[in-house]
Amino acid sequence: MDRFALEPLLLSLRGLSFPGLALAGLLLLLVLCLRARRTRRPGEPPLIKGWLPYLGQALKLQKDPIGFMRTLQKQHGDTFTLLLGGKYITFILDPYQYPFVMKNHKLSFKMFIKNILRKAFSIQMDIISDLNNELHDCYQLLQGKSLDILMENMMQNLQEVFEPHLFKTTNWDVTHLLTFCTSAVFETTFATIYGKFLATDRKKLITELKDDFLKFDNKFVHLISDVPIELLGNTKSIQKKLIKRLTSEKLANIQGWSEIVQMRQHILQKYYTFKDVEIGAHHLGFLWASVANTIPAMFWAMYYLLRHPEAMAVLRDEIDHLLLSTGQKQGPGFSIHLTREQLDSLVYLESTILEALRLSSFSSIIRFVEEDLTLPSETGDYLLRKGDLLAIFPPLLHHDPEVFEAPEEFRFDRFVENGKKKTTFFKSGKKLKFYLLPFGLGASKCPGRFLALIEIKQLLIILLTYFDLEIVDDKPIQLDKNRFLFGIEYPDSDVLFRYKVKS
């Protein structure tokens, strides 16, 4: 049974009472279980379904992604197919096969992302080729001179966020690290990309928007599954609320749109009417892409620095030397102005961020198999079935001891060699073209990765330059693993830290 056969059942869920929803949910589960009945055909990769209907191997993979994948790799080799949440996903674990995924025209990223747009952000209009291409062209405004403008505005917004702290006494402030990072990243990113609310209560408005966004993001993995949104509590009402907040009418009350938002809005109004609510759905998708992974990435960079004072000392020294060499003195108020080239010269700062991403990124690079095709490999060719998904699983590479010595350890200088950026890593005696993939690969590579790295760098520079920072909780924090296959993992609990203005 294909996706279209499910549509009448999904539509019938609307307006049902709780008992009706429960019954419909059971019927949906039955249909999905029937879809999961499958046998391996000659020439196909090893098929591992597990005994759980529909879920398949999802719980085992979520519990210990690296350990489970290593076990399967020993048993079945570098290529195998798993049943995960009603989907058949063929995983490629050999990094030297990654280019095949990038170049094969029968493997579609657009088809995969189309389903995400519909399920997560309620973008119902089929992505017309022209609209899709025009929106994609907007990403050029996240590079070059446009990126320099965004970077300058971002630093100004960061300074506004932290300016009130400079007028406090030099006593310690104690707060939760994830809460701290969430507020700083969300407020700064929104102000940089969308601008600032004109209303006098704009602080209240941005806080409400942030809180609703976090509730929505918490259900993201469920939203993109086959679970109807009607069965996810109040998620649908929160989604609608967020979309309404980002419609053309509401955005008109925000001043200081970035170039990319201006261009996107202009394009969207060519295909929708001004009052069309779906414009807000597109903006919600863009906002989610801008902050959903930057927040946990910032948390882990901060957390590892707080847990490794020796790393913090090296970064402070590196930043101080750059400021002195550019004639910038640390005085009252924020006065740091750095170019992109100067930011790039902070090799230990960048290495720290990359190492945090290596340890916390559990995203996969996924493609939709549009036609039956043959996957070549050194151990024999495999047939891939139309309608399946194909996935690269970078976390296994990121934790490979052959590539990264002591991969479970945080080493802030792992990506520095002889005072310069280290880009040479090996596996099986051969140099790896791809060794760190937190931002994806090929067509699915995150277009906002440069801005995200800049934001984390600027935020760390401000904190390390103007504040003393110390961890309060000594408890170790683990990955939550609820977002495995989809981005940077959040921590399984928050942790207290303290900060004060340097005397």
Summary mean pLDDT of the chain: 89
**243 vs 169 pLDDT, higher one:** 243
Residue 132 is assigned to a ligand binding site: no
pLDDT at 450: 95
3-state secondary structure of 334: coil
d(CA 319, CA 497): 22
| Mean pLDDT, residues 62-68 taken together | 92
pLDDT at 100 over 70: yes
pLDDT at 332: 63
Sorted by sequence, the CB contacts under 8 Å of residue 445 that are 6+ apart come out as 439
pLDDT at 358 over 60: yes
Q: pLDDT class for 444, splitting at 50, 70, 90?
A: confident
3-state secondary structure of 421: strand
Long-range CB contact pairs, 212-216, < 8 A, 24+ = 212/238, 212/241, 212/242, 212/245, 213/186, 213/242, 213/287, 213/288, 213/291, 214/182, 216/242, 216/288
d(CA 198, CA 366): 40
pLDDT in tens, 178-216: 999 999 999 999 999 999 998 788 889 999 999 999 999
Q: Kindly report which listed range (54-63, 121-130, 350-359) carries the lowest average pLDDT score.
A: 121-130
pLDDT in tens, 139-164: 999 999 999 999 999 999 998 888 88
Q: Select the highest-mean-pLDDT range: 9-23, 116-130, 175-189, 333-347.
A: 175-189
Nearest Cα neighbor of 290 from 370, 364, 355, 217 is 217
Q: How far is CA 124 from CA 121, 128, 402, 452, in A?
A: 9, 11, 45, 28
Sorted by sequence, the CB contacts under 8 Å of residue 145 that are 6+ apart come out as none
Nearest-5° angle of CA 344, CA 347, CA 350? 75
| Mean pLDDT, residues 79-92 taken together | 93
pLDDT at 485 over 50: yes
pLDDT at 16: 45
pLDDT at 9 over 50: no
**How many other β-carbons are positioned within 10 Å of the β-carbon of residue 405?**
9
| Mean pLDDT, residues 421-436 taken together | 95
Q: pLDDT class for 46, splitting at 50, 70, 90?
A: very high
Question: CB of 466 within 8 A of CB of 162?
Answer: yes
d(CA 287, CA 206): 13
Residue 293 is assigned to a ligand binding site: yes
Q: What are the structure tokens assigned to 215, written together?
A: 């509730």
What are the φ/ψ torsions at residue 115 (nearest 5 degrees)?
-65, -40
What are the φ/ψ torsions at residue 375 (nearest 5 degrees)?
-100, 110
The whole-model pTM stands at 0.91
pLDDT at 192: 97
pLDDT in tens, 278-303: 999 999 999 999 999 999 999 999 99
All domains in the chain, ordered by first residue:
1-35 (no CATH), 36-127+364-395 (3.30.43.20), 132-362+399-501 (1.10.630.10)
d(CA 416, CA 348): 7
What are the φ/ψ torsions at residue 153 (nearest 5 degrees)?
-65, -35
Residue 33 is assigned to a ligand binding site: no
The size of the chain, in residues, is 503
pLDDT at 145: 96
pLDDT at 13: 40
Q: What are the structure tokens assigned to 219, written together?
A: 């259900």
